[in-house]
Amino acid sequence: MSKIKEKKQPPRVSSKAVADNIGRNPESEHITFCFKYLTNNNKYTFNHFKKDQSRNELKCRKNLDDLLSTLAQSSWLEIGKRDKTTIGGYELLSVKSFSIPAQSLNVQNDEKLLSFRFGPADSYRLVGSKKERSSVLHVIAYDFDFTLYNHGS
C-alpha cells in the first residue's frame, strides 16, 4: 500500500517578526545601495575616465569608497542632520535642474534627487534617489565635471 503524502504547510511567521516589522522605521536603518538604475550615459558613469585612465580615476574611486563607507555606517536620520558640505551630507535637487532628460536618469520628472559631494574640494557628486519608507539609495549617476546639473555660482 502506498503512503499518502502530507501537504507541506507554508512556513509560519512568528508574531515577534510581525511585531518587529510593524514599528519598523527605514529612516533609522543603515543605508543600503542599489546600482540597478545607473544611467547608460557614459559621461555620468566611471566610463567618464576612459580617455584618462590615470590616477584621477583611482583617486576618485578611493574618494567614492570613503563616501559609500560613511553612508553605509549611517542612517537616513543621521545624514539628514548633516550639512551638504560634510561627508555624507546631501542636497535635494529637482529633476528639472538636470542637463539631461529624466528618462535617461531613470527617474520621474517630479522626483527629487539627492546629490552627495565627495572628492578633493568636493569636486565630484554622487546622485541618487530614495523612495519614501525605504532605506535604499538608488545610485543613478556621478558628476565628475559639474555638467550634470546647474551647480549655481
For the stretch 3-13, pLDDT in tens is 666 666 655 65
For residue 50, the enclosing domain spans: 30-143
Tell me whether residue 132 is in a domain.
yes
DSSP letters along 104-116, please?
GGTS-TT-EEEEE
> pLDDT for 40-94, tens place per residue?
988 898 888 877 666 678 888 899 999 999 999 999 999 999 999 999 999 999 9
Tell me whether residue 41 is in a domain.
yes
Tell me whether residue 13 is in a domain.
no
Could you tell me the strand order of the sheet in which 124-129 lies?
A: 32-34, 136-143, 124-129, 112-118, 90-94
Tell me whether residue 88 is in a domain.
yes
State the Cα–Cα distance between residues 136 and 145, nearest whole angstrom: 26
Place of cell 553605509: 72
Helix extents (H) in the chain = 15-22, 55-72, 76-79
Tell me whether residue 15 is in a domain.
no
Residues whose CB falls within 8 Å of the CB of residue 58, separated by 6 or more in sequence, listed in order: none
Tell me whether residue 10 is in a domain.
no
Tell me whether residue 1 is in a domain.
no
Total domains present in the chain: 1
> pLDDT for 109-136, tens place per residue?
888 999 999 998 899 999 999 988 889 9
Assess contact for 117 and 51: CB atoms under 8 A.
Answer: no
Tell me whether residue 105 is in a domain.
yes
Q: Could you tell me the pTM of the whole model? A: 0.79
Beta strands in 1-153 (DSSP E): 32-34, 90-94, 112-118, 124-129, 136-143
